[in-house]
Every structure is written in structure tokens, then in C-alpha cells.
A and B are shown apart, each in its own frame.
Chain A
Amino acid sequence: MDSSVHNHDHDHDHQVVPSDLALRVKALESLLVEKGLVDPAAVDALVDKFEHKVGPRNGAQVVAKAWVDPAFKARLLEDTTSAIAELGFTSGQGDHTVVVENTPQVHNLIVCTLCSCYPWTVLGLPPVWYKSAAYRSRAVIDPRGVLREFGTEVNEDVEVRVWDSTAELRYIVLPERPAGSEKMTEQELAALVSRNSMVGVEKLPPIGGKA
């Protein structure tokens, strides 16, 4: 199979080196725009959406609300897709979201071993490491080793549950609420929630260094 269209360009334009990805993208986009197959304004809008609007802050709001509102948390664990839609986060069609809850007995970790499936309605686009061969290969066979590389120790008496997103379900971790956060508002709590804690590679540290 011909894995790269740019080979066709060589005779035509000797200035273009095959590895110049930016030029290849520009060539493809300009051709598709000329043919009416791509609207450049749509590309602009999509980039803007993921750079500025859809991202881990969405998921952090879901987590903070679950911590302060037990009825919401119950709905979230029962039917995540509907519960997050209450906050305006919808995937429109297809992707169903599932929240898995960390407890003192269970630590959850999310991966997609086959490609890069990720709960982007609540977390945005995945970081590079999530898509890396190292993470995809090792999360299922050596989850505790992977967690240690993120500085996360999980005691031997805690079950590590790895969720491999092989279908159209998208998993997100509900991390444990940090010790010392009892008096914080929902908004303050949301600011504590990291993306990595919602993928499960990190735990949230206690507030003020308390155990």
C-alpha cells in the first residue's frame, strides 16, 4: 500500500521534503477548500472549540458537583450521559460516557489500547502521553508501574481497575475528594480537579499538606 501521497509530489516540486508535514497539510487543505469539501471557517471553529471551550474544566465541574450534591452523584453513576447533559455537556450522538468512582478500596485507570478513545465531551482532546505506545501497551499489564511514573502509589490492598475503551463508551474517573476540602465551595473544588486525576493516573493531594 502507498502510505504517503507526498511521494507523488516529488517530481513536481523538488523543494518539498517528505517530512514537511505543515506543507502537506496546507496542500491538502487548499485542494479540499477549492473543491468545496472543507470550509476553512469550520476548521477554525473546531480548533477554537478545543483550544478554548471544551477541555478538562468541563469534567472538573462534573466532579465538583458530584462531591457536593449526593443526588447528582447518584444520577451520575447511574446514567452518566444524562447527568452530564444537565451541565450542558453533550456528545450529541453516539458516544456514551461512564463515570467510575475511586474509593479507599478501588483505584480506576482509563486507557484505549487499540487507538485513542477518550472522554472528550468532558476532558477535551487527549494529551500526547495518553496516545503513546508506552501508555497504551503498559496500562493493562503494568498499571501500578505506570501509576508510579506519574508519582502515584496505590497500596497493595487497593484494587486497581483498568478500563480499556474498546467500544463507544467513554470512561472518566470520579477521583476521591481531597482531605481538608470540607469547607470549600463547588467552584473552589472544581479548581482542584486535575485532568490526570480524571484519567486516573493521579490522585488529588490533601489540602494544606494534611494527611
Chain B
Amino acid sequence: MNGVHDMGGMHGMGPVRHEPEKTEPVFHAAWEGRVYGINSALRAVRKWNLDAWRYQIEQLPPAEYLRMSYYEKWLTVNEQLVLKHGLVTVEEFKSGKAAPGTVKAVSAFTGEVASKRMGRGIASSKEPAVRPKFAVGEKVLARNVNPTGHTRLPRYVRGKAGIIDRDHGVYIWPDSNAHEKDEQRQHVYAVRFTARELWGESASARDTVYVDLWDNYLVHA
């Protein structure tokens, strides 16, 4: 979707305000760490995948998206997703208590798992059976499309010409996976765009932007 989350190239967001690296805490309040952990535990329940989770964030109303801090967004979408998938009911949210007779689940996401686990569960692999549509060095065009669902094709490259710089292998296609449809595994490439192709004559003649794009986002130039 052409949402406010698709920020590449926007103006008006001001300077990059950065805290000194040495003193910036990992979490700025204890609740942020709890949200991070709750999010991981709920992902382990496997009712929604990472792409669906990203799409949930993208659907926050634009003004809210810009107003909320990062972990407030995470909190809000987890509240929404547990309701949407029936893990928690509105009545339970109101009362703050599990409904009488609720059978307690056993979370597979234990302290031991949490301390070791690093992956986020988006499969990728070397799959010789899935053939690449494009070769390294080939000139391509990013499709000019405006899907209303989830996509990882940023607006600022649509319709622009680039060169396949490297083939990263085979990945699940997010546009389909976010909507719990088939995975449509296909190749992902780093595509090199010149700054001038993306931004016009005022951009540096030397600079480049590399964007990771799936087969379905590209056509032969």
C-alpha cells in the first residue's frame, strides 16, 4: 500500500536527531523491553507471520503512525492482532482477566529459548529448482504498480531503471505471504540504481542506491 511507512525520498521530516552512541540505552523505558519480549512470544504462537505483522503496522492511520514511538506501534499492533486472531477477547481486555474456564496454554517461547533464539522465521534458502528470472549485470525496470496490500517495493524506485548487482537467492514473496496466501518463492536481487535515475539531475553523478527486490517486482528493460 502507498502508506506513510514508505518514506524513502520524503521531505519535511527534519534533521536526524541522534543521541550519543555511548550513552543511548537499548530500551528507553522498562515497558519497551516488555513490549519487545511480548512481541517475540506472540510471534512464536505462529498465528501471524512477519509479513502480516508488518502489514498490520502499515495500516495504522498515517497521523498515528507518525505520532507514535516505535514501541508504541508494536504495542498497538499486538493488541490488535491478539483480538483479530481470537487469542484475547474484548471482554477479557475490559475485565483484565481471562474468561472463566479458559484452558491455559503452554508457551513454547521459554526463557531458555529466548536466550538462544536469534532467528525471526522468514524462510530463505538455496533452491536450485527455483530459477532466477534475471542475471547479474542485466538492466531491469522496477514495475510501476500500486498494490493496496503489503509490498516491499518502495514507491521511489517504481518505474525506474537499474542493474542487477547480485542474486541473493530464493525468498518468500511478502506481497502474498502477508495475506496468508501461498509463499511464491522467488529470487531476490540487490538492484543498483543511480542517484540521478531516482532523483534527477540535481543528485550526485557518482552516488548509488541499492534496493533488494523480488522477481515479481521487476521486468526486463
Contact = CB atoms under 8 A, between A and B. Distances in A.
Interface stretch (A151-159, A175-183, A203-211): A151-159
B198 interface: yes
Most chain A beta-carbon neighbours within 10 Å: one of B168, B169, B207: B207
Interface of B: 5-11, 13-19, 21, 24, 26-31, 33-38, 40-42, 45, 54, 57, 59-61, 64, 66, 70-72, 75-76, 78-80, 82-83, 87-88, 90, 92-98, 102, 104-107, 109-115, 117-124, 152-154, 156, 168-169, 171, 188, 190, 198-199, 203-204, 206-214
20 contacts: A9-B94, A27-B96, A31-B96, A37-B107, A41-B114, A42-B110, A46-B36, A46-B40, A47-B36, A51-B27, A114-B54, A114-B152, A133-B10, A133-B13, A150-B18, A158-B206, A163-B209, A164-B210, A167-B212, A167-B213
Interface of A: 1-6, 8-9, 11-12, 21-22, 24-32, 34-39, 41-51, 54-55, 90-96, 98, 113-116, 121, 124-125, 127-129, 131-141, 143-144, 146, 149-150, 156-169, 194-196
A194 B7 contact: no
B26 A129 contact: no
A37 B111 contact: no
A120 to B, nearest CB: 8
B59 A42 contact: no
Contact of A166 (B34, B80, B112, B152): B152
Nearest to B166: A98
Contact of B75 (A28, A36, A136): A28
Nearest to B66: A133
Contacts of B115: 45-46, 48-49
A155 B94 CA distance: 59
Contacts of A166: 152-154, 211-213
A90 B152 contact: no
Contacts of A114: 5-8, 54, 152, 154
A168 B168 CA distance: 10
A169 B169 CA distance: 10
Nearest to A146: B16
Nearest to A5: B79
A160 B204 contact: yes
A94 B120 contact: yes
Contact of A37 (B8, B21, B87): B87
Nearest to A42: B114
A120 B208 CA distance: 24
Contacts of A135: 16
Contacts of B207: 143-144, 159-162
Q: Which 4 A-B pairs have the closest CB atoms?
A: A43-B37, A92-B119, A113-B8, A167-B212
Nearest to B28: A128
A168 B199 CA distance: 25
A167 B168 contact: yes
Contacts of B214: 167
Given A144-B204, A156-B204, A161-B210, A90 B118 contact: yes
